[in-house]
Amino acid sequence: MSEAWRCFVAVRLNAALTRRLVTAVEGWGHRPDLAGLRWSAPPDWHLTLAFLGDVAPDRVSRVVERLSEQARGHARMRLEAGGLGGFPSSSRARVAWYGVADPGSELRRLADDVGRAVDLEPDRPFTPHITLARAHGRAVDLRAWLEDAVAPAGILAVDRIELVRSRSNGSPNRYETLAALRLNGGGRSVRRRA
């Protein structure tokens, strides 16, 4: 039996939003109060819709089929992005994030449908965000940063979902897209492991 793959379903950031965030993060990375954070690489930025955990490689094609059915049933979206925060709280953050507005709950419905398609039980409320950094060591107090940082405004174009494999050969994780599935019946593009 082959080793299971750690997988998640995500929305990747479009180039324009990535550029805006890169500029902001470059400025924040030099702040002494944020020295306890390890910033994620821009190509790794994504919005997680569902974390699948370990998936047997021979089950990936079935997961892709189920996700494809869900993708066809959802329209493309353009959502406003902006705002910053920390999980679990701003004073004791393990994660620094950039937010995405979902006023009509379309993104939440997509996340719910994706979760059901892969047999996940909802374990916490869906909070649309992009993880920018994680604490390496103790939790970090983000309150001063949140008071004076200006999050770049932008648009997250949601036109596809991706099944992504997370590989951790030490640190940091590497992400490999296994399948990219267009929303609203736009077809599908599948990448297989070489």
Say yes or no to pLDDT of 56 above 70.
yes
Q: What is the pLDDT of residue 121?
A: 83
Mean pLDDT of 148-156: 95
Give the model confidence (pLDDT) of 10-27 as tens digits: 999 999 999 999 999 999
Number of domains observed in the structure of the chain: 1
Q: What single-letter amino acid sits at 77? A: M
Average pLDDT of the segment spanning 141-146: 98
Structure tokens, 168: 């951790």
Alpha carbons within 13 A on the beta-carbon side of 152:
17
Q: Which domain holds residue 143?
A: 5-190
Of 1-10, 144-153, 172-181, give the range with the top mean pLDDT. 144-153
Which residues are tagged catalytic?
46, 129
In this predicted structure, what is the pLDDT of residue 135?
97
Q: For the domain that residue 186 is a member of, what is the CATH number?
A: 3.90.1140.10
Q: Is this prediction's pTM over 0.95?
A: no
The confidence score (pLDDT) of residue 3 equals 87
| Residue 7, SS3 per DSSP | strand
Question: Which tokens hold the place of 146?
Answer: 């949140």
Residue 67 has pLDDT above 60, yes or no: yes
Could you tell me which residues come within 8 angstroms of residue 82 by beta carbon, excluding any fewer than 6 positions away? 98, 99, 101, 151, 152, 153, 154
- Provide the pLDDT for residue 170: 59
- Does residue 174 have a pLDDT over 90? no
Span of 30-39, 79-88, 117-126, 147-156 with lowest mean pLDDT: 117-126
> How far apart are alpha carbons 16 and 2 in whole angstroms?
39
Residues in contact with 132: Cβ distance below 8 Å, sequence separation at least 6, in sequence order = 21, 25, 39, 40, 45, 96, 97, 98
> Comparing C-alpha atoms, which of 48, 175, 176, 179 is closest to residue 114?
48
Q: Tokens in use for 67?
A: 């996700």
DSSP letters spanning 54-107: EE-GGGHHHHHHHHHHHHHTS--EEEEEEEEEEES-SSSBSEEEEEE--TT-HH
Is residue 171 very low, low, confident or very high in pLDDT (cuts 50, 70, 90)? low
- Pick the closest to residue 178 from 3, 6, 2, 1 (CA basis): 6
Residue 185: the pLDDT is 47
Q: Residue 169 has what pLDDT?
A: 66
Task: Give residue 184's pLDDT.
Answer: 83
